[in-house]
């Protein structure tokens, strides 16, 4: 029996990796679903139905959007060969090719640009960093709505940030118009129950939740305990390394970014300049 199989558990224990004395006593079904989230990288071959796909997109479109600009699109990729090619571009991650559905989420300012062209109006604000940020933020909000909806339907998923490793090639593969860029992918499918994975503990709330003002010393005092907790999780699943080591390694320099250090250049080439 796992921790979250216990009748009294709310999912809080696995999310934080301890007994979590301050957990809510009766969270909603939605919160229980969110607390149980994990990335899925092994899928059954079952196709994701058109009805489920439409449901995911409807959930995504129900997310907030800045000024109702709706500056995003999503490309559903089911063709195995296209998924394989995208997998190669995304650090050769096999689960990207294996998932029955890959959703590629697009920060899309092209729609507004085309609207301006048809109306023969200026669109100078689209060249500023703020507008590019809106595109990336809105598409992330939309995708996360889709993730929660997918899990409510019995589907699993895993984000694919490595889609940004080769943004121009991905844009060509997907036939993206100017002023649009793939922000990330999302592999979707029925989880393979034999996958060896669990709910990964997150930082304790005391490390991320501040009251009234930011207290770095108090927050950082909880990092050592989290390293131990995550180390125990990693050992359980045959992984290694502490969280602090991973952060420092991942952010060490351009060489650790798998090509994404040139993202500003790619944005310029794809028609998303940022002033």
Query: What's the pLDDT score for residue 9?
Result: 56
Whether the per-residue pLDDT at 219 is higher than 80: the answer is: yes
6 confidence band (pLDDT: 50, 70, 90) = very low
Q: Is residue 185 a contact partner of residue 102, using CB atoms and an 8 Å limit?
A: yes
Query: What's the pLDDT score for residue 12?
Result: 84
Show Cβ contacts of residue 106 under 8 Å, excluding neighbours closer than 6 positions.
72, 73, 74, 75, 139, 174, 176, 180, 181, 182, 183
Show Cβ contacts of residue 243 under 8 Å, excluding neighbours closer than 6 positions.
203, 223, 226, 227, 230
Q: What are the pLDDT digits (tens) for 25-73?
A: 668 999 999 999 999 999 999 999 999 999 999 999 999 999 999 999 9
Residue 179: inside a domain, yes or no? Answer: yes
Query: What's the pLDDT score for residue 13?
Result: 83
Residue 250: inside a domain, yes or no? Answer: no
Helix (H, G, I), strand (E, B) or coil at 157: strand
Query: What's the pLDDT score for residue 18?
Result: 67
Residue 266: inside a domain, yes or no? Answer: no
Whether the per-residue pLDDT at 22 is higher than 70: the answer is: no
CATH classification at residue 163: 3.40.109.10
Question: Residue 120's domain spans which residues?
Answer: 50-192
Q: Rounded mean pLDDT of 127-143? A: 98
Residue 98: inside a domain, yes or no? Answer: yes
Global pTM reads 0.94
Q: For the chain, how many structural domains are there in total?
A: 1
Query: What's the pLDDT score for residue 11?
Result: 79
Query: What's the pLDDT score for residue 8?
Result: 45
Least confident of 15-19, 38-42, 69-73, 202-206: 15-19
Q: Rounded mean pLDDT of 141-155? A: 98
Q: Rounded mean pLDDT of 231-257? A: 93
DSSP element (H, E) containing 104: strand 101-108
Residue 244: inside a domain, yes or no? Answer: no
Residue 154: inside a domain, yes or no? Answer: yes
Show Cβ contacts of residue 267 under 8 Å, excluding neighbours closer than 6 positions.
132, 167, 181, 273, 274
Query: What's the pLDDT score for residue 10?
Result: 61
Q: Rounded mean pLDDT of 86-97? A: 98
Q: How far apart are CA 135 and CA 123, in angstroms?
A: 15
Residue 128: inside a domain, yes or no? Answer: yes
Query: What's the pLDDT score for residue 157?
Result: 98
Q: Quick one: CA dihedral 148, 151, 152, 155, positive or negative?
A: positive
Residue 71: inside a domain, yes or no? Answer: yes
């Amino acid at each position: 029996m796992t921790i979250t199989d216990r009748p009294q558990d709310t999912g809080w224990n696995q999310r934080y990796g301890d007994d979590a004395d301050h957990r809510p006593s009766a969270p909603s079904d939605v919160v229980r679903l969110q607390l149980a989230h994990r990335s899925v990288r092994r899928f059954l071959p079952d196709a994701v139905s058109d009805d489920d796909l439409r449901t995911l997109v409807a959930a995504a479109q129900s997310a907030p959007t800045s000024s109702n600009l709706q500056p995003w699109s999503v490309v559903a990729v089911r063709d195995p060969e296209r998924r394989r090619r995208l997998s190669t571009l995304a650090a050769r991650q096999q689960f990207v090719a294996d998932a029955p559905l890959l959703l590629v989420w697009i920060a899309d300012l092209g729609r507004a640009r085309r609207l301006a062209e048809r109306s023969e109006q200026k669109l100078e604000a689209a060249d500023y960093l703020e507008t590019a940020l809106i595109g990336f933020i809105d598409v992330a909000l939309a995708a996360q709505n889709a993730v929660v909806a997918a899990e409510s339907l019995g589907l699993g998923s895993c984000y694919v940030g490595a889609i940004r490793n080769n943004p121009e090639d991905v844009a060509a593969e997907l036939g993206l118009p100017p002023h649009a860029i793939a922000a990330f992918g999302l592999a979707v499918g029925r989880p393979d129950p034999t996958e060896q994975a669990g709910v990964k503990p997150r930082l304790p709330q005391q490390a991320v939740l501040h009251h009234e003002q930011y207290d770095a010393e108090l927050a950082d005092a909880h990092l050592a305990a989290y390293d131990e907790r995550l180390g125990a999780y990693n050992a359980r699943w045959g992984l290694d390394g502490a969280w602090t080591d991973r952060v420092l390694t991942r952010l060490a320099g351009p060489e650790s970014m798998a090509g994404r250090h040139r993202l500003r250049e790619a944005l310029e080439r794809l028609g998303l300049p940022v002033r």
